[in-house]
Structure 1
Amino acid sequence: MTNPAERLVDLLDLERIEVDIFRGRSPEESLQRVFGGQVAGQALVAAGRTTEGDRPVHSLHAYFLRPGRPGVPIVYQVERVRDGRSFTTRRVTAVQEGRTIFNLTASFHRPEEAGFEHQLPPARIVPDPEELPTVAEEVREHLGTLPDALERMARRQPFDIRYVDRLRWTREEVEDADPRSAVWMRAVGPLGDDPLVHTCALTYASDMTLLDAVRIPVEPLWGPRGFDMASLDHAMWFHRPFRADEWFLYDQESPIATGGRGLARGRIYDRSGRLLVSVVQEGLFRRLDRL
């Protein structure tokens, strides 16, 4: 299995080991901690496997409690909190080596017709994704070559990411920059037709670039890091159906960073400008020279 999109689908295909208990793989990678989007996506799969298929998830609220260890399986324990006529609620606890590392509450809603609909339009007009370079192309253009580590990462990356604004490479370029970022994203290959897989794949992707908006006024996104950062909590609201293997625009901003924490908000649109998903996350930021 060489296609990163296929590997993502396989990563989200949990093993059922008991009623409402599932086990997920955690790939062995050269990372300090398990990627938060992976844990959130797998936890949402576990919740969805215990619900009726006609009720898509409409929101999730999660806390990252401890860093997970790469290469060690994660067990997801699902609590059936409520099964109502319109809403279903599940609570998921992720356990690794006997310790809780993450918990999530997800709500599922039977689709209804409200009789009215509105949304704010996207904040700005952006180029189409085909007009923008990939991250690898930008790095190669700037450095004249693509470092081996980045090339290996690009081959494993399940999402094609294209920054709307060109990457900044020096501290002078980030001075006085607005804490905003926007990227086009889509899975690098087909994800099948299961709506739950697309929802969980997008949940995975939602944690990849959101905290960029916090860092942009402080340091270049690519290059030596001055801060250690970690996701603290994560919330999503799913407004409309979508496919994660089709282009979507992830518009991100950070309204505040203070006290070692930064808040980021994201809005995910399809190519026609329809708002699909809203995201909010807080991250922990600590200066590396003080660790």
Structure 2
Amino acid sequence: MNELQEPFELVKISENSFKSKHFLTKPHPSVRGVYGGNLAGQAVLVAIRTVPKGFVPHSLHSYFVKAGLPDRDFFWEVERLSDGKSFCNRIVKALQDGEVKYVAQISLTTKNSMKQQQSAYEEFKKKVSSGEADEDDDILPVSKPVHFGRPYPKWLGKYSPDEIKINPRVDNRHISHKLPPEMTDLELTRKDEENTPATERQLSYFVKWGNQNKPDLRAADLDEFRYTGLAFISDSIFLTRIARVLRIPNLDHGQMAFYFSVSLDHIIYFHDSDFDPTEWMSFSFNAVRFSNDRALIEGEFFDSKGKHIASVIQEGIVKLGHLSEKAKL
């Protein structure tokens, strides 16, 4: 068990109940509740611990009900909605002092690896060539894998993570970010963005699970924590970047937000199982709607080779206050 995995470890109480082994942390000392990525990451781990071997998460749909306290134990309750041959469904609730703080419905599947799909297809084609199988059947046992996804973000195509300095704001809690110059310098994107609707301004950065100063930490040593790690980093930064989306001037867009924000819900789609969140990944997102002090964000994760491996959707409360007067729509 390494330093990345240990904070998320669970104590099993019964078949359908667990307790967090450690208190969960806040994203910043000034924030009231624990970091939402902690809850999403541990919820995924809880779900994995209640399904047969071979099932992995492919989606999480969750709500932040109340602020989770950093000095109280979290207890996790599981409702087993279904157990099939290819899919399992779980409802996972996080409680403190008997109150539900977070609830998630998590779907898990046995078929979520593009690499395995491709290998199975290639093996099938070999059998066809040797006469062991017939590809003229109406229903093929193995069909050719078809994949498409979002293109790799334009900003990050210019850079290697090695070229960009790490952003120090959250490096002390095992999550690391590298922001390209286009994220922080409005002049670099003036031509492209000023005549572009706010919903089409795509922001991007590099992110990984782990501390830049401790490169020996590896999540891949224990497969189930791969999904915990991705869920953990999936709730970082983007809700606090609405001021950047709106191109509000005279702010240091590399720092913490200058307004109140809190997550309401969180959705993750794991499109593939072949990824390692302890390597530098890319995240790109758009704010697709902002109204009634609520921002709706859609984003995509790309692995270190540029493959689209997960998508994230989140709505959160964002109160811009006086900053709204300078918004560039």
The TM-score, its normalising length taken from structure 2, stands at 0.74
Q: Secondary structure at the match of 2:184?
A: coil
1:115 and 2:144 aligned: yes
Q: How does 1:1-291 map to 2 (within 5 A)?
A: 6-24=2-20, 25-27=22-24, 30=29, 31-111=31-111, 113=117, 115-120=144-149, 121-124=151-154, 125-136=157-168, 153-154=170-171, 156-168=172-184, 176=194, 179-188=201-210, 189-218=217-246, 219=248, 220=251, 221-222=253-254, 225-240=257-272, 241-287=274-320
Separation of aligned partners in 1, 2:33 and 2:86:
37
The CA distance in 2 between the partners of 1:127 and 1:224, in whole Å, is 23
Distance 1:123 1:167 in 2: 13
In the aligned structure 2, how far is the partner of 1:274 from the partner of 1:157? 26
Q: What is the rounded CA distance, in whole Å, between the counterparts of 1:253 and 1:224 in structure 2?
A: 19
Shift of 1:160: 2.1
CA distance, structure 1, for counterparts of residue 161 and residue 257 of structure 2: 27
What is the match of residue 121 of structure 2? none
Taking structure 1 as reference, are residues 279 and 163 closer, same or farther at Cα in structure 2, changes over 3 Å only?
Answer: same
Q: Give the superposed CA RMSD.
A: 2.7
Query: Which structure 1 segments of 5+ residues have no match?
Result: 137-149
Query: C-alpha displacement at 1:28, in angstroms?
Result: 5.9
TM-score of the superposed pair, with normalisation by structure 1: 0.83
**Aligned equivalent of 2:134:** none
Paired AA for residue 4 in structure 2: L
CA distance in structure 1 between the partners assigned to 2:78 and 2:40 by the alignment: 13
How far apart in 2 are the matches of 1:110 and 1:27? 30
Task: Specify the code of the residue in structure 2 equivalent to 1:206.
Answer: S
SS at match of 2:289: strand
Classify 1:222/1:130 alpha carbon distance in 2 versus 1 (closer, same or farther; 3 Å): closer
CA contact (8 A) 1:213 1:264 kept: no
Q: How far does the alpha carbon of each residue in 1:249-277 deviate from its partner, in whole angstroms, 9 at most, with x for none?
A: 11111112111100111111123221110
The 4+ residue runs of structure 1 with deviation greater than 4 A are 173-179, 222-225
Gaps of 5+ in 2: 118-142, 211-216, 323-329
Secondary structure, counterpart of 1:190 in structure 2:
coil
Residues 74, 95 of structure 1: 8 Å contact kept: yes
C-alpha spacing 1:119/1:224, structure 2 compared with 1 (3 Å): closer
Bigger shift: residues 123-132 or 50-59: 123-132
**Aligned residues between the structures:** 269
Q: Secondary structure at the match of 1:257?
A: strand
The one-letter code sitting in structure 1 at the alignment partner of 2:296 is L
Given that residues 227 and 287 in structure 1 are in contact (C-alpha distance below 8 angstroms), is that contact kept between their aligned partners in structure 2? yes
Higher share of residues assigned strand: 1
Indicate conservation of the 8 Å contact 1:267/1:278, yes or no: yes
